[in-house]
Amino acid sequence: MTEQKSPETRVALKHLYKIFGDDPEGAMEHVTQGLSKPELLDQHNHVLGLSDINIDIPDGKITVIMGLSGSGKSTLIRHLNLLIRPTAGTVEVDGENILDFGESRLRTLRQETMSMVFQKFALLPHRTVLENAAMPLAVRGFAKDDRQAEANKWLDRVGLQGQANQHPNQLSGGMQQRVGLARALTSNAPIMLMDEAFSALDPLIRTDMQNLLLELQEELHKTVVFITHDLDEALKLADKLVILKDGFIVQQGEPQKILMKPADAYVEEFITDINRARVLRVRSVMRRDADLEGVDDAVDAEATLEDVIAQSRGDSSACFKVVQDDRVVGRLDMTDLVRALVPAIPTAEEDAPRPAA
């Protein structure tokens, strides 16, 4: 069994604020005194874009930033490569505050450490698919043969074999975004910023692209920061989920934990319509240290509740031992499973009798 280690932080945002207006630094004083976003707008005509954002973005994982329109997602992702500079706070990449970087180091960071995939693809219309995908290496002065060999490799990998000589407008939206993805991969940057990258695509194509990203991620372990306003997409992709509202973080953490313990009424309402059976996993619902005598059937800790319902064939009295990496780690009863499908009822472990003090 491989030892589970928590991943290192690759990018850290610390006490980050962004205020839009004529005198952001002046307005910052009012914010630290506790003025809210609507008050700042009403009384001082400044927009509080981001307020005291603290996020550790783990290496090799997908961090999804989710929020409704205007919550600050685009403002936040643009701080990661300093397309927007903060009013206060720091952005650390590999432990260094990039606000201290000069032009040349910032250019290297944008070209070699971070790649971006945009909602509207941002392909050059008069260049071929191959030239578009090779662009990050052309900018860095790689020889034509080298950059095209690398671009071809990634075009193949994202399913665009035989399309290299087409132009973007000859491709569907889904295929154009595959070019966008190939271009990001060609740069070989370890950090990928994806700004609503699949939001312009039809639902089925969007699902294909999400699956492709997850498949690539199994192999490449990029540090991905993915912006979306779609909760289903967020839950499907996120190792870590950050929920933004009006420029501040309402909750962040592992999606399963957020689903089982929403921080407040806002998050509760946000997650109310999701299909919990399809998203919740056995490990989030099982009882640890429970009696396993007479329990023969097994389920995997990573199985979804929907998988278990199928496996139980509708038997509401079924119970299972829960297995993770060939070890038994808990017990799942169908009654606990059903309870987890209704968010307002306490979980099995919360409801268990407490040992006497």
d(CA 188, CA 215): 17
136 lies in the binding site for ligand ATP (CB under 6 A): no
> Which of 2, 6, 69, 317 contacts ligand ATP by CB under 6 A?
69
47 lies in the binding site for ligand ATP (CB under 6 A): yes
> Which of 13, 53, 67, 177 contacts ligand ATP by CB under 6 A?
67
Identify which of residues 40 and 158 has a Cβ nearer to ligand ATP in the complex: 40
Residues 6+ apart with CB under 8 A from 194: 116, 117, 213, 224, 225, 226, 227
Min separation Cβ 41 and ligand ATP, Å:
9
Stretch that binds ligand ATP, among 72-80, 121-129, 169-177, 280-288 (CB under 6 A): 72-80
Q: How many residues bind ligand ATP (CB under 6 A)?
A: 12
74 lies in the binding site for ligand ATP (CB under 6 A): yes
Identify which of residues 64 and 290 has a Cβ nearer to ligand ATP in the complex: 64
- What SS3 string covers the chain? CCCCCCCCEEEEEEEEEEEECCCHHHHHHHHHCCCCHHHHHHHHCCEEEEEEEEEEEECCCEEEEEECCCCCHHHHHHHHCCCCCCCEEEEEECCEEHHHCCHHHHHHHHHHHEEEEECCCCCCCCCCHHHHHHHHHHHCCCCHHHHHHHHHHHHHHCCCCCCCCCCHHHCCHHHHHHHHHHHHHHCCCCEEEEECCCCCCCHHHHHHHHHHHHHHHHHHCCEEEEEECCHHHHHHHCCEEEEEECCEEEEEECHHHHHHCCCCHHHHHHCCCCCHHHHCEHHHHCECCCCCCCCCCEEECCCEHHHHHHHHCCCCCCEEEEEECCEEEEEEEHHHHHHHCCCCCCCHHHHCCCCCC
73 lies in the binding site for ligand ATP (CB under 6 A): yes
Min separation Cβ 240 and ligand ATP, Å:
18
> Which of 75, 163, 176, 228 contacts ligand ATP by CB under 6 A?
75
Span 211-270, contacts to ligand ATP by CB under 6 A: 229
> Which of 49, 89, 168, 174 contacts ligand ATP by CB under 6 A?
49
From the number of C-beta atoms within 10 Å of its C-beta (0-12, 13-18, 19+), residue 9 rates as: middle
Identify which of residues 185 and 242 has a Cβ nearer to ligand ATP in the complex: 242
72 lies in the binding site for ligand ATP (CB under 6 A): yes
The token duo for 87 is 């009013």
24 lies in the binding site for ligand ATP (CB under 6 A): no
Stretch that binds ligand ATP, among 65-73, 92-100, 173-181, 294-302 (CB under 6 A): 65-73
Min separation Cβ 38 and ligand ATP, Å:
10
> Which of 7, 12, 20, 349 contacts ligand ATP by CB under 6 A?
20
36 lies in the binding site for ligand ATP (CB under 6 A): no
Identify which of residues 18 and 240 has a Cβ nearer to ligand ATP in the complex: 18
Stretch that binds ligand ATP, among 71-79, 304-312, 315-323, 331-339 (CB under 6 A): 71-79
Q: Which residues bind ligand ATP (CB under 6 A)?
A: 20, 47, 49, 67, 69-75, 229
